[in-house]
Chain A
Amino acid sequence: MSKDKSKVVERLRAKILPENRIYIKKNLEISEQITALLKEKNWSQKEFARRLGKTESEVSKLLSGLHNLTLKSIAKLEAELGCDIITTPVEACKKYKTTEYVTFKVYVPVPEQVDEVNTEYVEASSIEYKGTYQKLAV
């Protein structure tokens, strides 16, 4: 029996192993997180490589989202960056539960009210010149 060519996506999606989907997803998330942290610290890949004692090419691979990162290499990156790259839900819960929230009252300056200015214009020809004023020839 010939296969239905239009249903190929359904067939292929059904074959995707959940762990492979998770692996690619997590890898990309970690790469994105490191990129964001570097941006926050204003470190270039070159600077980050120098601090890690690695070549720029090695760091580029780490950030590609394709590298098979070990927990040890993530720990090394976190140590150099001085913050978490990955946080487990349990840790995240602890962190946010202990966060103190403060309410701020913000005062915004309101522009002073100014009386309306009469902005009507009149034709020069309709102005009557009296006394010492003289009409200029145009």
Chain B
Amino acid sequence: MNIFAHIERLNDFQFRKVRYFSIHIEGNEVNEFFDFLNRMEDFSEVSDDLSNLLVWIEEIGENYGAIKDRFFRNESITADVQALPPSKKQMQAYEILVKDLRLYCMVLNEHVVFLFNGGLKTTENAKDCPNVGPYIKQANQIVIKLDELLKNNDITWTKDHTDILFDKDIEIEL
């Protein structure tokens, strides 16, 4: 069965430096990012981590811009997928931020980021984890489709490349 999705602008996440988007799979109550937040909200052990992740997204969005090698980790399999929080190397010294929570995303440029889904990583290699493995694959699949939409000009850039334009009814076949 074919699964279709459409692009959704995250109205609560439109900041000075970054505009965040997600995708909404047809038939689902909320978009993928909200689905991630709703599922993680039920895990009390990641409550602080989830709050910190939200602050991180907001701070990057308002004050810094989406700098790939500084604020994200690479999770590519077949496409250019990033994840939050940043890499373990950067995390080792740090004490408050998110530990094993993973949120997969696509950084189009410093001003436009797609937030997908994720979860709580339970294995050393995220790709093997039953919790997050499917979401890495899904993110890679979506990124390929979004790249095609960009190439075909179904998604276009604003003149200053700080935002994107698209038909809200455009369908992505997953």
Partner-B contacts on A (CB < 8 A): 3, 5-6, 8-9, 11-13, 15-17, 20-21, 23-25, 28, 32, 57-58, 60-62, 64-68
| Pair B47/A15 contact, Cβ less than 8 Å | yes
| Pair A12/B55 contact, Cβ less than 8 Å | no
A62 to B91: give the CA distance in the assembly, Å: 11
Task: Knowing that A20-B51, A64-B90, A68-B96 touch, tell me 20 more A-B residue pairs with CB under 8 angstroms.
Answer: A5-B29, A6-B30, A6-B34, A8-B37, A8-B41, A9-B34, A11-B41, A15-B51, A16-B54, A20-B52, A21-B55, A23-B96, A24-B55, A28-B63, A60-B89, A61-B93, A61-B94, A62-B93, A65-B71, A66-B85
> Of B47, B55, B97, which contacts A66 at CB under 8 A?
B97
| Pair A20/B96 contact, Cβ less than 8 Å | yes
Chain B's closest residue to A6 (CB) is: B30
A17 to B50: give the CA distance in the assembly, Å: 12
Which residues of chain B have C-beta atoms less than 8 A from A28's C-beta? 59, 63-64
A119 to B30: give the CA distance in the assembly, Å: 68
CB contact list, B22-49 vs A, under 8 A:
29-30, 34-35, 37-38, 41, 47-48
A65 to B63: give the CA distance in the assembly, Å: 13
Asked if B125 lies at the interface with its beta carbon under 8 angstroms from chain A, I say no
Which residues of chain B have C-beta atoms less than 8 A from A65's C-beta? 70-71
Which residues of chain B have C-beta atoms less than 8 A from A66's C-beta? 85-86, 90-91, 93-94, 97
Which residues of chain B have C-beta atoms less than 8 A from A9's C-beta? 12, 34, 37, 54
Which residues of chain B have C-beta atoms less than 8 A from A12's C-beta? 37, 41, 50-51, 54
* B interface SS class: helix
Chain A's closest residue to B37 (CB) is: A8
A50 to B84: give the CA distance in the assembly, Å: 31
| Pair A24/B38 contact, Cβ less than 8 Å | no
| Pair A64/B51 contact, Cβ less than 8 Å | no
Chain B's closest residue to A57 (CB) is: B89
Which residues of chain B have C-beta atoms less than 8 A from A5's C-beta? 29-30, 34-35, 38
Q: With contacts A8-B37, A9-B12, A25-B59 known, is A16 near B93, CB below 8 A?
A: no
Interface centre among A12, A62, A66 (most CB of B within 10 A): A66
For the complex of A and B, 7 pairs with smallest distance between CB atoms: A66-B94, A61-B93, A64-B90, A8-B37, A16-B51, A5-B30, A68-B95
Residue-wise interface mask of B (93-107) relative to A, using a CB-CB cutoff of 8 A (1 in contact, 0 not): 111110000000000
A66 to B91: give the CA distance in the assembly, Å: 7
A17 to B64: give the CA distance in the assembly, Å: 22
20 A-B contact pairs sorted by A residue (CB < 8 Å): A6-B29, A6-B30, A6-B34, A12-B37, A12-B54, A16-B54, A17-B51, A20-B51, A20-B52, A20-B55, A21-B55, A24-B52, A24-B97, A25-B59, A28-B64, A64-B94, A66-B94, A67-B94, A68-B93, A68-B95
